[in-house]
Chain A
């Protein structure tokens, strides 16, 4: 079986994308962080490292809550997406 990229995987899921972002990160803190646990915690690769800083895109979020609890610097301001938005599983 050929290796599936995370984009391929997320592309089969059903999302209703909100215009409001439900998870915010404090980029200033991230610049000073050398651990970047968020990169490995997120099963949807929503966090990416660029120029020593973290960028976050919420579109593929699976709402698992991992990033909420792994950040040692509490730079992740985590909430659930508004009701009616986000991931909607067909199987689960």
Chain B
């Protein structure tokens, strides 16, 4: 029976990046993907922050099915019917190579997998890995479609619900407190309408995040991403807080869509898809201590390599980067004909040296900080109330902004508390 040089489980960004890197070097790679095509099971926000991919596929965006390059970032605080926004755009985002793109996963993942296939990998879609094969203590392949498929090394890129990392003993059960649930609608508009509504006549797009009442104070936020002729509209909320408060993410999404700052912009959009997915958000706090075992590596969401700072939610670029690092470790192991943990640990070293684990370390405190409910209720409210007072001209003499703020804080949050939250924010983000 044939033994593959490597089996990659999952054709998301991590899996395809890994398989592409390995196939390019002439290894016999099998990618096993449970969807009927790569991307069929995947959903996200989403904006892909792409420079990592240009190392692998220079100018990928000219060929890949991207929607819009992101020219604008916008953050909004929602409170009641109010909305206070900060908006940033700069020339750097508008020049090539672009920093980020909105895109759809069903399209992008299919394209990325086809690149790995062109490089020589076998992409076996409609095939699900059910278990790992063990030979002594070492992992020697997978069980899929009723067959045993042996390999020198298995790279688990099977996403947040990773069955393989669990079966390999690297990871325990996911905890509701470690994940956020994202629900999203894709709303389609007649040609030109998205550009008109969002003033996007230069072809660029917006990555727009909301915080505050859109999650009724629960940790999380809402988003709108502009695609070519559609909008991706969704909310992302801590799963534990949802179930404990008896709130449903899709109800939050309905509320969000009716907020006055949003309703007019999405009016008349035709719903073409509704999707949901989990995001591992606890960073280093949930990452398996070891991302390797004898004959086994784990990358991407399966290893919880996601950066959620509140300002950014990035996982796909981390997945690509970890997929590439895993491939490098496999290549080293192949060269040395040693697939034991002793050689494969090189993978974790590579991650530690790259932005993947460096960023997660830098923002190590973010997941804890982001549990602070004041971020989602009190502060957006204060910000909106303050803006309301500052901008109101009602014939009464005005107060200094500072004084206004002090008044509004009274009885709701102490000066000390807020200062501490600020310091913590500074440390975490």
Contacts and interface: CB of A to CB of B under 8 A. Distances in A.
Interface residues of B, number: 59
Contacts, number: 137
Given A6-B250, A92-B39, A92-B43, A41 B276 contact: no
B43 A89 contact: yes
Given A1-B258, A64-B276, A89-B40, A83 B126 contact: yes
B144 to A, nearest CB: 8
What's the dominant secondary structure at chain A's contact region?
loop
Contacts of A89: 39-43, 105-106, 273, 275
Contact of A69 (B42, B44, B176, B273): B176
A38 to B, nearest CB: 8
B173 interface: yes
A9 B128 contact: no
Contacts of A92: 39-40, 42-44, 104-107, 109, 273, 275
Contacts of B267: 1
Contacts of A12: 271-274
A2 to B, nearest CB: 10
Interface stretch (B241-249, B318-326, B370-378, B383-391): B241-249
Interface residues of A, number: 37
Interface of A: 1, 3-4, 6, 8-10, 12-13, 16, 35, 37, 39-41, 43-45, 62-66, 68-70, 80, 82-84, 86-92
Interface stretch (B70-78, B178-186, B281-289, B402-410): B178-186
Contacts of B263: 1
Interface in B253-276: 254, 257-258, 263, 266-269, 271-276
B242 A41 contact: yes
Contacts of B160: 65
A90 B107 CA distance: 8
Contacts of A8: 271
Contacts of A45: 248, 250
A13 B278 contact: no
25 contacts: A1-B266, A4-B271, A6-B250, A9-B274, A12-B272, A16-B36, A40-B242, A40-B247, A41-B243, A43-B181, A43-B249, A44-B276, A62-B277, A64-B278, A66-B181, A70-B176, A80-B34, A89-B43, A90-B272, A91-B106, A91-B232, A92-B40, A92-B107, A92-B109, A92-B273
A64 B176 contact: no
A12 B186 CA distance: 10
Nearest to A74: B173
A4 to B, nearest CB: 6
B107 to A, nearest CB: 7
A15 to B, nearest CB: 11
Contacts of B36: 16, 84, 88
Contacts of B80: none
Given A62-B275, A65-B161, A83-B127, A40 B248 contact: yes
B175 interface: yes
Contacts of A44: 276
A66 B278 CA distance: 7
B277 A9 contact: no
Contacts of B181: 41, 43, 64, 66
B35 interface: yes
A8 B274 CA distance: 10
B104 A91 contact: yes
Contacts of A82: 128
